[in-house]
């Protein structure tokens, strides 16, 4: 897995320099993002399927898909250049457990996808994200949102939503504030 993570970092630096895919501009920045993506495996329950909303340059979905090869990952990203990068990574790393769709969550049909885990990193506030994505989460599923400086405000907003949907939300706030 280490070799594939290194290749992912190399590809992101290469493509990111040309296409501005991420705020991570150095190998160390990317290593930090990889570590943040994977550290949640210490506390999150095992899962068989994951919907990553606003996948961007692949955090957290690419590192998680490498660490959890038996889980199915669906990556949603509306930006064409980021989708092209994600497809390139999928092929280069032989990630057969990835499905990449160029679309926003609002365009996804609730009848088409049902997953154990929904992830997102710095996309929108938690309350809106929960409202938009809840129809895609299995009954015993979990949300995992990687959040930065607005965490306390979003937790206050999300608590009522968690109760309404009966789902568990994990907020991971150790991540760095890169785009």
DSSP states of 110-150: TTT--EEEEEEESSS-HHHHHHHHGGGEEEEEEEEEE--TT
User: How far apart are alpha carbons 78 and 73 in whole angstroms?
Assistant: 16
**Annotated binding-site residue numbers for S-adenosyl-L-methionine:** 54, 59, 105-106, 121
SS3 67: helix
- List the CATH number of the domain containing 61: 3.40.50.150
Q: Which domain range does residue 21 map to?
A: 1-178
- Residues of the chain with pLDDT > 90, as a percent, come to 55
Q: Which one has a higher pLDDT value, 106 or 43? A: 106
* Residues constituting the chain: 179
Q: pLDDT (tens digit, 9 = 90+) per residue, 107-117?
A: 999 888 999 99
Burial 89-110 (b: 16+ CB within 10 A, else e): bbeebebebbebbbeebeebee
Region of residue 47 (left: phi > 0; alpha: psi -120 to 50; beta: else): beta
For residue 171, name the pLDDT band (cuts at 50, 70, 90): low
CA R_g for the chain? 15
**Annotation: binding site:** 54, 59, 105-106, 121
Record the pTM: 0.86
Domain total for the chain?
Answer: 1
């Amino acid at each position: 897995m280490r070799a594939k993570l290194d290749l992912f970092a190399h590809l992101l630096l290469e493509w990111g320099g040309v296409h501005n895919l991420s705020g991570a501009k150095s190998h160390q920045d990317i290593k930090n993002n990889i570590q943040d993506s994977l550290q949640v495996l210490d506390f999150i329950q095992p899962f068989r399927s994951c919907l990553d909303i606003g996948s961007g340059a692949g955090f957290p979905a690419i590192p998680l898909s490498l660490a959890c090869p038996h889980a199915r990952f669906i990556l949603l990203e509306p930006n064409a250049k980021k989708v092209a990068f994600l497809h390139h990574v999928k092929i280069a790393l032989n990630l057969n457990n990835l499905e990449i769709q160029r679309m926003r969550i609002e365009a996804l049909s609730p009848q088409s996808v049902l997953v154990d885990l929904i992830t997102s990193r710095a996309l929108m506030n938690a309350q809106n994200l929960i409202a938009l994505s809840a129809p895609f989460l299995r009954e015993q599923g979990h949300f995992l949102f990687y959040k930065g400086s607005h965490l306390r405000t979003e937790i206050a907003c999300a608590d009522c939503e968690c109760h309404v949907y009966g789902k568990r939300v994990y907020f991971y706030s150790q991540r760095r504030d890169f785009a």
